[in-house]
Amino acid sequence: MLVIVAPGQGAQKPGFLTPWLEDPAFAARFEWLSAVADLDLAHYGTKADEDAIRDTAVAQPLLVATGLVAALSLFPHPADAFDRIGAVAGHSVGELAVAAGARAITAEQAMVLVRERGKAMARAAAATPTSMTAILGGQREEVLAKLEQHGLTAANDNGPGQVVAAGTVEQLAALAADPPARARLMPLSVAGAFHTEHMAPAVAHVRSLARAVSTHDPRTRVISNYDGHVVHDGREVLERIVQQIARPVRWDLCLETMRDLGVTGILEMPPAGTLTGIAKRALKGVETFALNGPEQLDDAREFVEKHGTPSPMDASPTWRMLVSPTKGTFRQSLDLAEGASVPAQATIGAVATLRAETAVTAPYGGTIVEWLVSDGDPVSPGQPLIRLHPVQAS
C-alpha cells in the first residue's frame, strides 16, 4: 500500500525549485498559485537565500504550492491517483497540501489558508522571542520529563529518537545547559515556537477564515497529525488543520497508523528527504522514495505502480460512508437495522483501543443502506463501517 506524504516547514532549501520551473506546465501552474498567495514564489524557490525562505510567511506558501504542483506532474490525470494512493499525510503545514490533494478543499483554498496561516504565525512569533530545538536520541520518558522541567513543549513527536522542543529562547537556553542524558540537541532554523500555545492568536485568525471554506469528504484516507486517526469528513479535516497550529504534531502516531494500514511504500513530495528519513528509522522494511527533481518522475511513477492500491473510500460515493478513525474493536451503540434513519451528529458507535475509545459520529445523517461491520468486529484505520443514503435537503 502506498502513502503520499508532504513535508513541513524547514524542508525548503535555496534554489530547490530551479529544475522544476524549467517545465513550462509546472511554471504556469506555479505562477497561478503564486498569484493566489500574492507572493513571487518562483523567486523564493530559485534565487532567494536561506534567510529569505526561512520567513514563515514565505516558507509555508512555498512548500504547499510546490507539493500541489509536483503532484500534478506525478499524476497528469489526477483522478487516476485515487486508484493508487492508499492514504495521505502531511507534516504540519504539509497537511494543507494533502488536504487539497485528497480533494477535501481546492488548491486555491489551500493557498489562501496557507498565506493567512503563515502571516498569522509570523505575527504570533514576533510577539515573543521563541524557537525550536530537535532532540535526537535519549530515553523518551527522560526527554519528556526534561522538557516539562524547563517549561517546554514537545511540539513535534516524530517517532523513535526524535522530539522537537519549542518555547522561549530562555527556556531553550536552559535546556541546552541541562540536556537529557545520551541526547544530542540541534537548534532549528525556524522563526518561532510553532505548534505551541504561543501560536494561539494565529488559530483564531485562520479559524475565522476557515468557516467560509466549502469542504468535501476526501477521496482517500487522510491521516491526521492531531492523533494519527484517519479522518474522512472534510469539515473535520479542515478543523483539525486549524487546531494543529497550536497543538503538537504527533507524527509518531501517524507512523503507527501507516503501519496498521499495511504500508509498503512511502513517497515524499518535494522538497523531500525529511519524512522518508524518519520512515527509514521507524518503519523497517517499508520502501521510501524522496521526490526532489523532475528527472525522478519516471522512477516515481514506477514506485507508485509497484506499491499502489486504491483506498476503500473510492469504491463508493465517499459522502455516504462512515469509516473507522483508528485500529481497534468496533462497539456499536445504535441498534438500528437497514432502512432506519440516523440523525445528523448521532453517535453510531466507538472504536476501542488499549489507549482510548473514539466515538464515530454521522455528521450528515441519513438512511442506513447497510452495516459493513458488526458489534465486536476488529477494524483497521479508514475501514468503512456503515453506508448511509444522505438526507435530502428540503
Active-site positions read: 92, 195
Rounded CA gap, 49 and 65, in Å?
18
Say if strands 287-290 and 162-168 run parallel, antiparallel, or are unpaired. unpaired
Rounded CA gap, 103 and 214, in Å?
11
Q: Is 222 helix (H, G, I), strand (E, B) or coil?
A: strand
| Cβ count within 10 A of residue 354 | 5
Residue 289 amino acid letter = F
Residue 170, C-beta contacts closer than 8 angstroms, at least 6 positions apart: none
- Contact between 200 and 184 (Cβ < 8 Å): no
Q: Where are the beta strands (DSSP E) in the chain?
A: 2-6, 85-90, 130-137, 153-157, 162-168, 183-187, 221-223, 230-231, 265-268, 287-290, 321-323, 328-332, 341-342, 346-352, 357-362, 366-371, 378-379, 384-390
